[in-house]
Every structure is written in C-alpha cells, then in structure tokens.
Chains A and B, each alone.
Chain A
Amino acid sequence: DAMVIQNPRYQVTQFGKPVTLSCSQTLNHNVMYWYQQKSSQAPKLLFHYYDKDFNNEADTPDNFQSRRPNTSFCFLDIRSPGLGDAAMYLCATSRDRGPETAKNIQYFGAGTRLSVL
C-alpha cells in the first residue's frame, strides 16, 4: 500500500490560474518535502516542513507556497503558474533530518505531473 500519496497524478491548469497539489502520508514522519523535477534533471527541493516549522529554499520563487495543516497532509500552492512551472512535483517524507542516515531516508509519492496551458 502506498505510504506517501499524491493527488492528483496529473493536473492541467491554465497560465496564471492557481493550483493546489496535495500530499498525504501514513508513516507519521516528522518531515515532509516538496520537490520540482523537470525532464532529465535532478529533483530540486522547493521547501520542507519539520513538524510545523516551514523551511523555504533560498531560490524557491514566491509563486510557490505550502501548507501543512497536520502531520499527515501537506499542500503545494502555485499562485500564478507560468509555462516554466510545468514539471513533475514530488512529495517526500522522512522520519527526521540531520546526519543520521537511517532517519533521513526519504520516501517519495508517485508525483503529480503538472501541465500549464
């Protein structure tokens, strides 16, 4: 059974129309991450939550926001999608963070593929 679930699997939106992607987890992990991955590129971390503590990456555009209302759920909001935001968006979780290997293994959801028309 999937432990990190992303919905929807495919999302089509119009240029400038806000869109929300969702992620839920059954692992009870402390940390939830959002990545953007474009074709033939490495996943790029956008931000993560450590419990309720939000941590934004320095180069993440303001157009991207996130919410984590409880341990299980995390949302990615794209306020005004541009053509360049078309990508696979991956949610991941880890038990904890820091140097200890076992605790920072990340488990990924199947991703949401976003198309912007």
Chain B
Amino acid sequence: RKEVEQDPGPFNVPEGATVAFNCTYSNSASQSFFWYRQDCRKEPKLLMSVYSSGNEDGRFTAQLNRASQYISLLIRDSKLSDSATYLCVVNLIGSQGNLIFGKGTKLSVKP
C-alpha cells in the first residue's frame, strides 16, 4: 500500500461547482497533514494545514479523519484560477518528520 494515495483525476468541473478531493495515508502515527497546490511547471505552495477539528479558509475546507486515515479537501464555488494539481502531504513519523507527498489530483475548472 502506498504511503499517501490520491485519486489522480483529472477532475473537470464548471465554474461555480463544488469539488471534493480525498486522500488516504498508511501510517497511523502520522501527525501533520497538509494540502499543497502546484500549478503546471511551478513549485508546490501550501494551501492549508489540516487539523483534527477541521479547518476552513474561505472557499476551502479541509477535514481529517484519523480513525479512517483519511483527509479531504472541499472547494466551493470553483474559480478558473483554482485549476491546478492538489497534493496531499503527510509527515512520516520515524523519518525525522519528513513529509511524504501524494502524486496529486489534477483539477481543471472550465468556463
């Protein structure tokens, strides 16, 4: 089983749509969780950290389910500028806290 698994997509959605991404991780002892966004041929940029209580930043909502080892990202009212690859990232306990990246889910928002 891969350490961090994501649906690769692509997700093709119209502007204004709500889209949800899911991610599962294999190491139950992981303690830090993030969503990063990566535009084509650019570097990953932190979108948001994910906490057990769930957190929201504008149109973006992240949820963590430790029992199921599952992380989600919800984007409401999609904009054209949301088109990117969304990377699920988890720290790896026992490896000095190094982060493990999922392969990412590609989102394409169409007019």
Residues of A within 8 A of B (CB): 40-43, 45, 48, 50, 55, 88, 90, 97-102, 104-111, 113
A101 with B31, Cβ < 8 A, contacts A43-B44, A90-B43, A90-B44 known: yes
The answer, among B32, B45, B96, for a CB contact under 8 Å with A108, is B45
CA–CA, A48 to B49, complex, Å?
Answer: 22
- Beyond the given pairs A55-B96, A101-B33, A102-B49, 18 more chain A to chain B contacts, judged by CB atoms under 8 angstroms and listed by A's residue number, are A42-B101, A43-B44, A43-B101, A45-B98, A48-B96, A90-B43, A97-B98, A98-B97, A99-B91, A99-B97, A100-B32, A101-B31, A104-B91, A105-B46, A107-B46, A110-B42, A111-B42, A111-B43
- Asked if B91 contacts A108 (CB within 8 A), the reply is no
Residue of B nearest to A108 (CB): B43
Within 8 A of A (CB), among B15-52: 31-34, 41-46, 49, 51
How many CB-defined contacts (below 8 Å) exist between A and B?
Answer: 58
A99 with B102, Cβ < 8 A, contacts A104-B91, A110-B43 known: no
- Asked if A105 contacts B49 (CB within 8 A), the reply is yes
Q: Which residues of A contact B43 (CB under 8 A)?
A: 90, 108-111
Residue of A nearest to B93 (CB): A99
Pick the 8 closest A-B CB pairs, nearest first: A99-B31, A108-B43, A42-B101, A97-B97, A98-B97, A101-B32, A42-B103, A111-B43
Residue of B nearest to A96 (CB): B97
- Asked if A42 contacts B49 (CB within 8 A), the reply is no
The answer, among B4, B44, B97, for a CB contact under 8 Å with A104, is B97
CB distance from B67 to the nearest CB of A (A): 19
CA–CA, A110 to B4, complex, Å?
Answer: 24
Q: Which residues of B contact A107 (CB under 8 A)?
A: 46
Residue of A nearest to B30 (CB): A99
